[in-house]
Structure 1
Amino acid sequence: MIAFAKATCGNTDFEFSQSYLFLSPKKDQHLILFLSSTGEALPIKSHKIAAELEELFFDSRSKGSDFLKEGIAFLKERIDEFENSSFILATILKNILYFYAEGDVDAYLLRNNSKLNLSAGKLGKIVSGRLQEGDKVLFVTENLKEKADLATLNTSNLADEIEYLSSKLQLRESIACFLISVEKKRVVEKISNPFAYPLRIQVVSRSWKKPLLNTLNLLKPKNKKGLGIYLILSLVLLTCSTLYIRYLQKNSQTNQQTTTLVNSSRSYFAAAQNLRLDNPEEARNNFLAAKKDLDKALKIKPKDSKLLDLQNEFNLSAKEILREFEVKDFPVFLNLSLIRDGFSTKRLSYSKGNVLVLDEVQKTLVLIDLQSKSPKILSGGEKVGNAYLASVNGDYNFTFSPDKGVVRVDKRAQGVLPVIPVDSDWSKIADLVGFANNVYLLDEFKNQIWKYIPTQSGYSEKYSYFNDETKADLAGSLKMQINGSVWVLKQGNEILKFTAGVRDFFAVANLDTELGNVTSFYVSDETDRIYLLDRGNSRVVVLKKNGIYDYQLIGERFKTTDDLIADEEGKKLYLLEGNKIYLVGTR
Structure 2
Amino acid sequence: MFQSDFGIYLGKEMVDGYFGFIAENNFFLIFQAKGLTVDEGRDFLNRIKTDFVAEKIENLHNFEDFLAEKIKEKNLPADFSLAAAFLKDNILYLKTINEGKIYLYRDNLLASIIEGNLSASGYAKDKDIFVITVKNFSHLIDGEKKFKGFFDHKKPSEIIDEISPIIKGKEDEGLIALFVQFLLNNEAIQEEDAVVSFSKKNYLLFFGERFKKIKENFFLYSQRVGKRRILTFIVIALIFFILLWSVIFGAKRRHQASLNEKIQMSQQVIKDKLSQAQDEAFFNLEKSKELINEANKELQNLKTIVGERKEVEELNNLIKNEENKILKKEEKKVEEFFDLSVENKEAKGERLYLNGENLIILDKKNGEIYTLSLTKKSLDKQTFKEIKEAMLLASYDDDIFFNSSNGVYKIQAGKIKKILENDKNWGEIVDFFAYNGNLYLLDKGKSEIYKYTPTADGYSDKISYFKGGGRALNDALSIAIDSSVYIGLPTQIFKFTAGQQEEFKTNFPEKDVVIKKIYTNKDLEKLYVWDNKRGTIYILRKNGSYERQVFASILKKAYDFIVFKDNAYILFAAKIYQLNLD
> Which structure is larger by alpha-carbon Rg, 1 or 2?
2
Residue aligned with 1:477, SS: coil
Contact 1:447-1:475 within 8 A present in 2 as well: yes
Structure 1, unpaired ranges of 5+: 1-109, 116-133, 136-151, 158-179, 208-257, 273-279
One-letter identity of the residue aligned with 1:508: T
Q: Which residue of 2 aligns with 1:486?
A: 485
Tell me the percent identity: 24
Change over 3 Å in CA distance of 1:378–1:361 after alignment to 2: same
Work out the CA distance in 1 between the residues paired with 2:288 and 2:502: 29
CA offsets per residue over residues 234-267 of structure 1, 9 Å max, x none?
A: xxxxxxxxxxxxxxxxxxxxxxxx9xx9898366
Q: Partner of 1:406: helix, strand, or coil?
A: strand
Give SS of 1:527's match: coil
Q: Cα deviations across residues 153-207 of structure 1 (Å, max 9, x unaligned)?
A: 96979xxxxxxxxxxxxxxxxxxxxxx9999999999986569984666427999
Q: Which residue of 1 aligns with 2:401?
A: 398
Equivalent pair of 2:104/2:129 in contact (CA under 8 Å)? no
Counterparts of residues 196-215 of structure 1 (less than 5 Å): 198=130, 202-203=153-154
Q: Which residue of 2 aligns with 1:387?
A: 390
Which residue among 382, 396, 400 is the counterpart of 1:378?
382
The one-letter code sitting in structure 2 at the alignment partner of 1:431 is D
Deviations 1:92-124 (CA, angstroms, capped at 9, x unpaired): xxxxxxxxxxxxxxxxxx975479xxxxxxxxx
Conserved? CA contact 2:103–2:113, under 8 Å: no
**Is residue 270–residue 299 contact of structure 2 (8 Å, CA) maintained in 1?**
no
Match of 1:334 among 327, 334, 338: 338
Deviation at 1:391, TM superposition (A): 0.5
Counting only pairs closer than 5 Å after superposition, residues 255-334 of structure 1 correspond to structure 2 as 265=273, 268-269=276-277, 271=279, 287-295=288-296, 313-328=318-333, 330-334=334-338
- Deviation at residue 484 of structure 1 after TM alignment: 1.8
In the alignment of these two chains, the number of paired residues is 356
Letter in 2 for 1:496: F
Q: Deviations over 1:15-40 (max 9, x none)?
A: xxxxxxxxxxxxxxxxxxxxxxxxxx
CA distance in 2, matches of 1:439, 1:552: 31
> Which residue does 2:366 correspond to in 1?
362
Partner residue, 2:44: none
Which secondary structure state, in structure 2, belongs to the residue aligned with residue 561 of structure 1? Answer: coil
Aligned residue number for residue 562 of structure 1: 559
What pairs with 1:31-110 in structure 2 (closer than 5 Å)?
A: none
> How has the CA–CA distance of structure 1 residues 185 and 283 changed in structure 2, closer, same or farther, with 3 Å as cutoff?
closer
Change (3 A) 1:414 1:201: same
Counterpart for residue 425 of structure 1: 425
Are the equivalent residues in 2 in contact too, given 1:367–1:377 (CA < 8 A)?
yes
Q: Distance in 1 between matches of 2:292 and 2:367?
A: 52
Letter in 1 for 2:279: A
- The residue identity in structure 2 corresponding to 1:575 is I
1:282–1:475 CA distance, 2 compared to 1 (3 A) = same
Q: CA deviation at 1:435?
A: 0.9
Report how far residue 312 of structure 1 moved.
5.9
CA gap of 1:458–1:385, structure 2 versus 1, over 3 A, is: farther
Distance of 1:321 and 1:454 partners within structure 2: 48
1:512 Cα offset (Å): 4.8
Pick aligned residue for 1:574 from 565, 569, 574: 569
CA–CA separation in structure 2 for the residues paired with 1:511 and 1:311: 20
**Helix, strand or coil for the counterpart of 1:537?**
coil
Corresponding residue for residue 407 of structure 1: 409
Which residue identity is paired with 1:463?
Answer: I
SS at match of 1:362: coil
Q: Residue type matched to 1:487 in 2?
A: Y
The answer (yes or no) to whether the contact 1:399–1:408 under 8 Å persists in 2 is: yes
Report deviation, 1:447: 1.2
1:317 counterpart SS class: helix
Counterpart Cα distance in 2 of 1:489 and 1:186 = 49
Distance 1:538 1:264 in 2: 30
1:564, CA displacement in angstroms?
Answer: 0.9
2:405 and 2:129 map into 1 onto residues whose CA distance is 68
**Per-residue CA shift, 1:365-423, capped at 9, x if unaligned?**
222212222221235124x57322111123332111221x222233xx44434332332
In the aligned structure 2, how far is the partner of 1:186 from the partner of 1:326? 39
The structure 2 residue matched to 1:552, chosen from 531, 549, 552, is 549
CA separation in 1, counterparts of 2:121 and 2:320? 18
Q: Matched residue of 1:319: which SS?
A: helix
Could you state the TM-score of these two structures normalised by the residue count of structure 2? 0.51
- The 1:380–1:548 alpha-carbon spacing in structure 2 relative to 1, beyond 3 Å, is same
**CA 1:395–1:156 in structure 2 vs 1: closer, same or farther (change >3 Å)?**
farther
Cα distance, 1:372–1:291 mapped onto 2, change above 3 Å: same
Contact kept? 1:379, 1:416, Cα under 8 Å? no
CA distance in structure 1 between the aligned counterparts of 2:360 and 2:420, rounded to whole angstroms: 20
CA offset digits 1:541-564 (Å, max 9, x no partner): 322223333232223222211111
Structure 1 residues 339 and 308: alpha-carbon distance in aligned structure 2, compared to 1, 3 A threshold:
closer
1:462 CA displacement: 0.7
How many Å separate the matches in 2 of 1:550 and 1:184? Answer: 35
For residues 185 and 322 of structure 1, what CA distance do their matches in structure 2 show?
Answer: 30
**Is the Cα contact below 8 Å between 1:537 and 1:559 reproduced in 2?**
yes
Q: Residue 398 and residue 485 in structure 1: after superposition, are their counterparts in 2 closer, same or farther (change >3 A)?
A: same
Q: Using the TM superposition, give the Cα deviation of residue 459 of structure 1 relative to its aligned residue in structure 2, in angstroms.
A: 1.8
Per the alignment, in what secondary structure is the counterpart of residue 340 of structure 1?
coil
